[in-house]
Structure 1
Amino acid sequence: MELATKLDERLKAVSSIGSDPTGGMTRLLYTDSWLEAQKYVKQQMESFGMTTTFDDVGNLFGRIEGAENPDETIMTGSHIDTVVNGGKLDGQFGVCASLTAAEYLVAKYGQPKRSLEVISMAEEEGSRFPFAFWGSKNFVGVANNDEVQDATDADGKKFVDEMRRQGFDFSPKQTRRDDIKAFVEEHIEQGSILEQEHEQIGIVNSIAGQRRYDIVLKGEANHAGTTPLSYRHDAVYGMAKMINNALDKAHQVGDPLVLTFGKVVPKPNTVNVVPGEVLFTMDCRHTDAEYLVQFTKEITDMMTQVAAEMGLDISIDLWMDEKPVPMSDQIVKTIEDKAKAGKYKYRVMHSGAGHDSQIIAPVYPTAMIFVPSIGGISHNPAENTKFEDLVEGVKLMADTLYELAYK
């Protein structure tokens, strides 16, 4: 089989499912387009001899039994859902890459020694319902069904009703699989490092931890024309001081620390009133768990001090605290060895974005392969990667799976 041709066919076919008029992709969990995409992947799996199954929540598995050690499984794959008006590669490239690499190996070398399995995970993004990693969390048995029992989407449709409408339901408590010896996920970088450094491959050795906060400052709303600056309790002024101090400190620290203030909601949010209240968010990420906690504590202590000096009330809500997740040294080394042998242009790097691999890695030996993102753009209809880079990524995936499943 011609690897590049099959990859191109699959990406074009799956990108037509859930495409919207803007040129982007909207394929959300348990929608009709989501099920159509999973059925397409199922047909593609079966086209080269894979045995396919859905689990209870809609994760799709395609499997080639191993000839010598069928009870040892090498798994690869990614997620099939998208964000709203997203790009054509996030998630589904990893699914198509895994499918294409597996088909290439079976066509060239026949049945593997160990079982080879591709997973198309039901959901990762959390774009329709307020719950992310539904697919991978169910796969490794850490999903909390209580968290989605009353969840609804923007149209008021219930998670449970939509899941059952598509023929799926909650998983009964099952024994976690013990046959999986490695999981490898391929993904676009969603950043600009590989492109800027003129490299085609990233080998991911860790996924950054994330701490996210909602911060509310309360002062006093007042007339913009009659209230002297020295008399004001301006919530936005306080926020501006805090953000400036925090970002200055973050720039001094540098990589791999990143700090983002992405949402600001002032009240009353009108041109001629001193804002008496403001809500803003903080997203901080780092690959070292202890340093992430230390840095964010220094920032929140600074915010508390600034609020006191300015006569503002402050509340700080830490609503996400995800620890960094290291990848398997052994699987990373396997990928790197194949990258060296194949003369791929690569670097070992961390991921600043979250992925299904961060859920799977604490349970099974896991690593990731990145390919460049043009302009670092993702979650956007403009998301793109040079086709030759996509092909190089699939070739390295095939080389890696050959080492893990055939040797």
Structure 2
Amino acid sequence: MMIAKTESEAYVTQLLEDLGAIGAERGGGITRLLYSESWRRAQSFLAERMEEAGLEVRYDRVGNLYGRLPGKSPEAPVILTGSHVDTVRSGGKYDGAYGIAASLAAVRELKNRYGQPKRTLEVVSFCEEEGSRFPLAYWGSGSVSGAHPLELADTAEDPDGVLLGDAMREAGFGREDQPDPRRRDIAAFIEVHVEQGVILERTGDDIGVVETIAGQRRYIVTLEGEANHAGTTPMSMRLDALAAAAEMMLVLEKAASRAGEPLVATVGRMKTAPNIPNVIPGTVEFTLDIRHLSETLLTGFCEAVLGKFRSIAERRSVGFSIQTALLSRPVPMDPLLTGKLEQICRERGLAYRRMMSGAGHDAQSFSSLCPTAMLFVPSRAGISHSPGEYTAPEHLATGAQVLTEMLHELAYTDA
């Protein structure tokens, strides 16, 4: 079976347009941070679309949104598909949102064409994946898998000092009468996503079948020097926290370049204090994001780089501390499900390639819980986390088509 491409294209494109208007900024870009007003409106919008599609709608305690199409065997584990509704600051309209739109399009089409499935199908809009507001990522899918205990909500703060738990309760969640987010009834999780890279566009392939999601380490480094007058403090007597940070960043860049692909390392955010033009920076805080497919190589690189950071701090007599924000191991996708995706592509004459994901995704939260698979569609110029994010409607439709076939096989057949 195959969903009509024009119908899929129109439905997914319109859904993304409507969803993209929620949290849109004047200068371009979309911001939907966890538990913000734009986040609440986006989840409410999706709940309405799920109801229109004839699905049973519910939220769990952390704000994950589900649309359920009950199967003929209610005791059978659930086939789950979807992605995340939150964005980075001033992000694009495809990251995360496309996975929800394609999943809703697929389940809607299957229901309209084939009626009740043998096994229950659910579309999920995870409350959070990006880590853009609070210093943790995958709050939605991690709460489902049990990787993130609910107690974390009482310790994580956003940059304004708001506790995750307080923000969650303000948004209407976190109550004990709401369903526990942890699930043990999922037979498989399938996620479709824009690539966020340039490989598929350059190779001309229609679909990327993900083999492995790279491991990821995130740290917050804090340096304590001494704030002093920029005009009266000799260079030899300075305890400049920003100069120390700059040296560390150059060491990081050189080490990552020497390590070679697929390792990548990034300093994405930095705060200085007192942040005054004529005062030597006394305190600097910066983030560190390091990724690799090999857990052994990732661990070795991180230990070596952080050791060099400590040496720089000691030589400059600057205080050094580090907080671990994320430890994510490389996650292989399920071979059987991956093979099914390949078979669908071959049968439909779609050009595909096996590939890794350098970006983290909700799918990696499920590897310890159930068989998991992931597929990519091309991204123009590989641009992501930016208003310039774009995937052509025909590619959006192709991804939705492959997902529809996959869900049909898993939920409607005896395979």
Secondary structure, aligned partner of 1:43: helix
Q: Which amino acid aligns with 1:336?
A: E
Q: Is the 8 A contact 1:218 1:312 kept in 2?
A: no
Q: CA deviation at 1:142?
A: 3.9
Counterparts of 2:401 and 2:143 in 1: how far apart (Å)? Answer: 29
Secondary structure, aligned partner of 2:388: coil
Secondary structure, aligned partner of 2:31: coil
Q: Which residue of 1 aligns with 2:330?
A: 324
Q: CA deviation at 1:95?
A: 0.6
Q: Which residue of 2 aligns with 1:366?
A: 372
Q: Which residue of 2 aligns with 1:111?
A: 116
Residues 244 and 19 from structure 1, CA distance in 2 versus in 1: closer, same or farther, beyond 3 angstroms? closer
Q: Is the 8 A contact 1:70 1:115 kept in 2?
A: no
Residues 270 and 139 from structure 1, CA distance in 2 versus in 1: closer, same or farther, beyond 3 angstroms? closer
Q: Which residue of 2 aligns with 1:197?
A: 203
Counterparts of 1:215 and 1:26 in 2: how far apart (Å)? Answer: 26
Residues 248 and 119 from structure 1, CA distance in 2 versus in 1: closer, same or farther, beyond 3 angstroms? same
Q: Is the 8 A contact 2:60 2:180 kept in 1?
A: no
Q: Is the 8 A contact 2:131 2:137 kept in 1?
A: yes
Q: Which residue of 1 aligns with 2:100?
A: 95
1:46 paired with 2:46, answer no
Of 89-98 and 28-37, deviating more is 28-37
Instruction: Encode CA deviations 1:31-75: one digit per residue, 9 max, x unaligned.
Output: 343333223222322333322222233222222222357613211
Match of 1:301 among 307, 314, 320: 307
Q: Is the 8 A contact 1:224 1:272 kept in 2?
A: yes
Secondary structure, aligned partner of 1:282: strand
Q: Which amino acid aligns with 1:287?
A: L
1:180 paired with 2:209, answer no
Structure 1 gaps of 5+ residues are: none
Secondary structure, aligned partner of 1:392: helix
Counterparts of 1:280 and 1:183 in 2: how far apart (Å)? Answer: 35
Residues 164 and 281 from structure 1, CA distance in 2 versus in 1: closer, same or farther, beyond 3 angstroms? closer
Secondary structure, aligned partner of 1:71: coil
Q: Which residue of 1 aligns with 2:23?
A: 18
Instruction: Encode CA deviations 1:113-145: one digit per residue, 9 max, x unaligned.
Output: 222111112222333444432222332334333
Match of 2:42 among 34, 37, 42: 37
Q: Which amino acid aligns with 1:89?
A: Y
Q: Is the 8 A contact 1:217 1:312 kept in 2?
A: no
Counterparts of 1:175 and 1:103 in 2: how far apart (Å)? Answer: 24
Secondary structure, aligned partner of 1:212: strand
Residues 153 and 270 from structure 1, CA distance in 2 versus in 1: closer, same or farther, beyond 3 angstroms? closer
Instruction: Encode CA deviations 1:4-36: one digit per residue, 9 max, x unaligned.
Output: 121122122222223232232222333343333
Q: Which residue of 2 aligns with 1:388?
A: 394
1:137 paired with 2:142, answer yes
Q: Which residue of 2 aligns with 1:404?
A: 410
Residues 388 and 314 from structure 1, CA distance in 2 versus in 1: closer, same or farther, beyond 3 angstroms? same
Of 324-333 and 66-75, deviating more is 66-75
Q: CA deviation at 1:265?
A: 5.2
Q: Is the 8 A contact 1:207 1:287 kept in 2?
A: yes
Please report the RMSD computed on the Cα atoms of aligned residues, expressed in angstroms.
3.3
Q: CA deviation at 1:323?
A: 2.0
Q: Which residue of 1 aligns with 2:32?
A: 27
Residues 127 and 283 from structure 1, CA distance in 2 versus in 1: closer, same or farther, beyond 3 angstroms? closer
Aligned length: 406
Counterparts of 2:232 and 2:171 in 1: how far apart (Å)? Answer: 60
Q: CA deviation at 1:365?
A: 1.3
Q: Is the 8 A contact 1:57 1:171 kept in 2?
A: no
Residues 365 and 358 from structure 1, CA distance in 2 versus in 1: closer, same or farther, beyond 3 angstroms? same
Q: Which amino acid aligns with 1:396?
A: V
Secondary structure, aligned partner of 1:13: helix
Counterparts of 1:281 and 1:154 in 2: how far apart (Å)? Answer: 13
Q: Is the 8 A contact 2:144 2:181 kept in 1?
A: no
Instruction: Encode CA deviations 1:306-364: one digit per residue, 9 max, x unaligned.
Output: 555x4544625141322222222222222122222222222222222222222222212
Q: Is the 8 A contact 1:213 1:316 kept in 2?
A: no
1:337 paired with 2:349, answer no
Q: CA deviation at 1:241?
A: 4.8
Residues 236 and 159 from structure 1, CA distance in 2 versus in 1: closer, same or farther, beyond 3 angstroms? closer
Instruction: Encode CA deviations 1:256-312: one digit per residue, 9 max, x unaligned.
Output: 21112334556776777777775544321112111111112222333444555x454
Residues 257 and 167 from structure 1, CA distance in 2 versus in 1: closer, same or farther, beyond 3 angstroms? same
Q: Is the 8 A contact 1:188 1:373 kept in 2?
A: yes
1:3 paired with 2:12, answer no
Give me the identity figure in percent: 44
Secondary structure, aligned partner of 1:120: strand
Q: Which residue of 2 aligns with 1:126?
A: 131
Of 298-307 and 217-226, deviating more is 217-226
